[in-house]
Structure 1
Amino acid sequence: MGLFRRKHAVLPGFGPSLGYTIFYLSVVVLIPLSALFFKTATLSWDQFVTAVAAPRVLASYRVTFGSALVAAAVNGVFGVLVAWVLVRYRFPGKKLIDALVDLPFALPTAVAGITLASIYSANGWLGSRLEPLGIKVAFTPVGIMVAMIFIGLPFVVRTVQPVLEELDQEIEEAASCLGASRWQTFYRVLFPTMLPAILTGFALAFARAVGEYGSIIFIAGNMPMESEITPLLIITKLEQYDYAGATAIATVMLLVSFLLLLSINMLQKWSRRFADN
């Protein structure tokens, strides 16, 4: 009988832990999201399609997802460069730059939006130099991409940085001794190892940009059909008491966010499997 005697752990067992987890997730996540679906279910299919496929809504989708895709691609390139510099080189102020990478995480989005709008406005520090060249950033779709790049950069850097830290420089030296050029060493030796982390960082930056609101509305022109993002359109419909239309658009965004999270989890699983091999 001693073999079947259970030992009492200090922490709660599986049953209470699972129960608390389900209860907490239900109160914080599942119940609010189910309320969104229930509100959307009050619409007929034709009303739902009309709400989520109106020309203004489709234009906001194009602005939001198009800008997020471009911003994530830019971060995918320059985020890798920043991570490479922080890992492979030593220089004065390295710790300061490493800390600045996390600034978009801690900075309130409204503060970031006001700062970017001030810098890139016509009389701003950068805007006054770019507009004579015909480049207008503030209050244009370009400003939306700038804000998305700002808030998405840390996701790529912090995802790629640990992978670079684990890469042994002896691998590069071995490739060089075997006659590989610097480009061949990067493309055939380093890049395949970094690719899963880069894709994960890209997906995280894209998902973050799609849901961003506070930092964008200050630098975007917020013009319907031109520079209006989908989260702002949802707020506009709520202010117009069009709750059904707002929840319908929010449901589409929720489904897209779920697919993004699913893809991120699959990328992370593939990344771990790739690293093990």
Structure 2
Amino acid sequence: MLVLITGASAGFGAATARLLIQRGHRVIITARRQQRLHALQQELGANCFALAFDISDEQATSSALQSLPPEWQQIDLLVNNAGLALGIDAAQNSNLADWKQMIATNISGLVSITHAVLPGMVARNRGHIINLGSIAGDYPYPGGNVYGATKAFVKQFSLNLRADLVGTAVRVSNVEPGLCGGTEFSKVRFHGDDTKAAALYSNVDYLSAEDIAETIVWIAERPAHVNINRIEIMPVAQAPAGLTVKKKV
């Protein structure tokens, strides 16, 4: 199986690349950070191909895919992992640039690369797209505003792709993790504030990047007639619990 993973320089993407290589697949790793990609490619060996570009740049995405050698072009699995959250402020206090960057990466970038890769899958009548959503796309919380909205888009886009692809052998899945530590996600969200990021995971048995990677690979390796539409994963320590009610003073 030939796999393309976006956002593969760290976190879920890097963990998934490692596991897929271990299981004998060939993997194209993509991300913005060329040095990190190169280091991961060196670690993973000849069955790994590194491609550095910014997925929020449509032209860069197109050019990068077109530059792939012929033997790396027929992608069987696209893992749309690239994404980020920025800020945790209430909507009225949020930074508009953060909102736009989340939309550009989590929605526009995902849509652009899917649009580029999907026709080949349909033409070959095989393939699988696994999108990385989030429980934030299902459960609102204070400060989730645009991040949660982008992940709700990912969920609905995944389901609508399934509707369009009925009659083909192409599969689409959406993986929706809950609280997951050991990645750069919260550090990015808190704009580099390590103290705030660490506090979020203090004294919690959170999910790991490897937990999510194992789930992605399990979905990808189901029999060809099986499609996992969506899967929601939380640590035991987390649960969707109640609605906030503000009492009068």
TM over 0.5: no
Q: Which structure is larger by alpha-carbon Rg, 1 or 2?
A: 1
- TM-score relative to the length of structure 2: 0.28
Which has the higher relative contact order, 1 or 2, with Cα contacts under 8 A spaced 6 or more apart?
Answer: 1
* The structure with more strand, counted as a fraction of residues: 2
- TM-score relative to the length of structure 1: 0.26
* The structure with more helix, counted as a fraction of residues: 1
